[in-house]
Amino acid sequence: MHLLYEEGGDIKIATLITTAGAETDPLAVESLGGKRSKLKSKDVWLRFQNPPTIAISDFLPQAKIVSDEIDLDFVWECAGPEEFQFLDLAKEYFGESSTPLQQTALAIALQGAPIYFRRKGRGQFMRAPEDQLKAALLAVEKKKVELAKQELWEVELREGKLPEEIHPQVNALLFSPDKNSTAYKAVCAASQGLKGGIPELFLKCGVLGSALAYHEGKFLKEHFPKGVDFNVTLQANEEADWQTALNQLPEAKVKAFSIDDASTTEIDDAFSVTPVASSPNCYRIGIHIAAPALAIQKGGALDQIARQRLSTVYYPGGKITMLPDQVIDIFSLHAANRGIKDKESVENGSGDLPLRPAVSLYVTIDAEGLPILDGEHAPITKVERVPMAHNLRLDDLEDLVTEESLADVSNTANLPYQNELDVLWRSAKQLHARRQEQRLANGLRAEVLGLPDPGALARDFNFLVTNNVVEIKARQRGSVLDSIVAEWMIYCNSTWGNQLADHSVPGIYRAQKGWGPQRTRMQTLPGPHEGLGVENYSWCTSPLRRYVDLVNQWQLIAMAQHGVTAKLVAPFKPKDADLMAIAADFDGTYAAYGEHQNQMERYWCFMYLKQLGLPWKGVVRHLKEGQARVEEIPLRLNVPELSEQARAARAEVEVLDIDFLSLEASVRYLGMIDSENDAETLFHSETEAEGEGEPESITEINKEDLSPDAHPGSSQ
């Protein structure tokens, strides 16, 4: 005897095993595959003897054939509204003399048609309500149509044609797809076998202009889902109100100048150098920082924009500013459109200088160039309007300004601001020396001021992208002008951090202490930056492009205007949870922006090699674990053959092919190259350049404290 039963949603058959004609419960059975087991009698749907014309192994396949011919609509009509047993319905459908094969076929049909019949027990069913059945049948029909459409789209996509209905969904399918949609299923199936997946498929179809468009689109979708345009427009009266308020600020009795790249548009910082009449050989240094915090109110529309963006985004070929151009134009420390040869007319007082609102730190240095920290010449912070005389450009002067040229008194006519730059350079050397003393006390290696070892890898680069053609040039770090700006910005940030802490005014600090993945972080408690060798280091010098600097500027203005009562009137009070949230959000967002910049630089490095022609041969230096860097551009390549070589070992490689979607290259190792450079020098150069040495060294902090467009890769 054979038994029909259900297991795991499937109809199955087993043969009953009897002992001396007796049956027990549970029943001893043997499956068609020969496996013996126990089956409770209550789970049995049907007991039958196999017809002699059909082998038991063919019984279920034959029943399945019969079940496929059953008219489910007619069965549904026959079933009636009440629960029923499938054997009873078999009599209605096949007649009173229905065979076990027909009964089994009906059981299979009922079990496999959940939209028509609902299971109510072992062999028990109930037909679905008519309205639900109609809805389900409509859904099934719709699914068939969608499946047919999907198959048609797959064929077109594989042929490199984009179906018209998919075209409006391209961005969504790339960056935030609905994985249940027919379009996604079609493009996903069509992209099977393509290394680059859906992006490569769209490149083949011609709807994705380039791999660059994919990388940029992915970043924008994640961080700027509503677009990069500003949804705020300043009214004429609003700008007029700002100007009225700014005109009430006192005018500084200085003539300031900035030092920036030629492409810089957000000029955050400037200098002034004024002799101290009462103290020969002493000078009053002014560090003047653009002051958008004077107009942007906490919680206002502009603040909400800056709070959301948190920083300007830099990448080769462009940038996304934190603040609207209208605000930048008002508060950037732009001088009049005057050439550097006009400095004499400025000194003689001819011509009106534009007055720019600024938060200024005044520091008096002695004859040796050391800051005077106590007494009447102690550092002081002021909120004022600063006359801007010139915007000096590194591109014009960096090679001209050297220690020798500053000392040459006969060079005054050819070197603008020679005396001022000489004073700033002498003091910068003193500031650097003091920081190195603290670095040594922190157990770190002292850094050398000046240009790096010519044998070391260049660390920073400028990317100039024009009409999809890129030029990559090493950026000179450690020059006189570079060091002046870096040292004085570090000093300014540290001094303001100390002043905020001394006045118990909350701020956001850039702290570095100890080791580990979180050794450098933003925090709301004062703390040292061991890598820089300073105490209570805060970011305050780039309020046009970094939100934490803007926040700290609000606090600094309160401190400068209210003194000891500043903590009572400052926008952020002690233990302000919002301030802590800003610090945390900024860390994550700033890192994401930096990663995008790195990725775009990698893309353009690969494009640079492609421009030179593939296959490209060149020299790399080993970093670690088979990772090497191309000597002439900031591109890392994976060269497994170098994994056993020493750091800084030089090798010749050949780049055969480039995948611009994955930003990986096919590299062939050609052989080692003997190096004449000192291995120990190269080791330190390589590790620092790739972030293996002490983090945020002077060269790293330069990127953060120079003008915003001085970030490597900026080419605005």
SS3 string of 477-508? CCCHHHHHHHHHHHHHHHHHHHHHHHCCCCCC
Q: How many Å apart are CA 40 and CA 47, to the nearest integer? A: 13
Q: Do 554 and 570 meet the contact criterion of CB atoms below 8 Å apart?
A: yes
Q: What is the DSSP-derived secondary structure letter of residue 195?
A: T
In 503-614, where does DSSP find H-type helix?
Answer: 547-562, 566-569, 577-612
Which region among 20-34, 88-102, 312-326, 437-451 has the lowest average model confidence (pLDDT)? 20-34
User: With pLDDT > 70 as the criterion, what percentage of the chain qualifies?
Assistant: 90
Average pLDDT over residues 8-13: 85
652 DSSP β-pair partners: 619, 671
End-to-end CA distance of the chain: 86
Higher pLDDT, 397 or 554: 554
Written as one letter, the residue type at 610 is K
Q: How many Å apart are CA 361 and CA 272, to the nearest integer? A: 10
112 DSSP β-pair partners: none
- pLDDT band at 489, cuts 50/70/90? very high
Q: Do 381 and 556 meet the contact criterion of CB atoms below 8 Å apart?
A: yes
Average pLDDT over residues 273-301: 92
Identify the three-state secondary structure at position 517. coil
Report pTM. Answer: 0.79
Higher pLDDT, 626 or 338: 626
Cis peptide preceding 26, ω within 30 of 0: yes
pLDDT at 96: 86
CB-count burial class (<10 Å; 0-12, 13-18, 19+) for 338: middle
Q: How many Å apart are CA 700 and CA 677, to the nearest integer? A: 24
Q: In what order do the strands lie in the sheet with 10-16?
A: 36-39, 27-31, 10-16, 2-7, 44-48
Phi/psi for 214 (5° steps) reads -65, -50
If you average pLDDT over every residue of the chain, what do you get? 86
Average pLDDT over residues 475-497: 91
Asked whether residue 518 carries a pLDDT value surpassing 80, the answer given is: no
Query: pLDDT of 138-189, one tens digit each?
Result: 888 888 888 998 899 999 999 999 998 898 989 889 998 999 899 999 999 9
Count of beta carbons in the 10 Å neighbourhood of residue 139: 11
Q: How many Å apart are CA 46 and CA 107, to the nearest integer? A: 10
Q: Do 312 and 319 meet the contact criterion of CB atoms below 8 Å apart?
A: yes
Q: What is the DSSP-derived secondary structure letter of residue 529?
A: B
Q: How many Å apart are CA 109 and CA 93, to the nearest integer? A: 12
Count of beta carbons in the 10 Å neighbourhood of residue 393: 17
Q: How many Å apart are CA 217 and CA 195, to the nearest integer? A: 19
- pLDDT band at 19, cuts 50/70/90? low
Q: Which domains does the chain have, with CATH numbers?
A: 2-128 (no CATH), 132-209 (no CATH), 599-696+705-710 (2.40.50)
Higher pLDDT, 598 or 21: 598
> Helix, strand, coil % (nearest 5) of the chain?
40, 20, 35
Q: Do 382 and 362 meet the contact criterion of CB atoms below 8 Å apart?
A: yes
Which region among 286-290, 513-517, 570-574, 662-666 has the lowest average model confidence (pLDDT)? 513-517
Query: pLDDT of 551-589, one tens digit each?
Result: 999 999 999 999 989 999 999 998 899 999 999 999 999
Q: What angle do CA 665, 668, 673 make, to 5 degrees?
A: 120
Q: How many Å apart are CA 394 and CA 205, to the nearest integer? A: 45
Q: How many Å apart are CA 31 and CA 192, to the nearest integer? A: 40
Count of beta carbons in the 10 Å neighbourhood of residue 180: 7
Structure tokens, 671: 């052989």
Cis peptide preceding 225, ω within 30 of 0: no
Residue 250's contacts (CB-CB under 8 Å, 6 or more residues apart) are: 382, 384, 385
Q: How many Å apart are CA 572 and CA 32, to the nearest integer? A: 78
Identify the three-state secondary structure at position 373. coil
- pLDDT band at 516, cuts 50/70/90? low
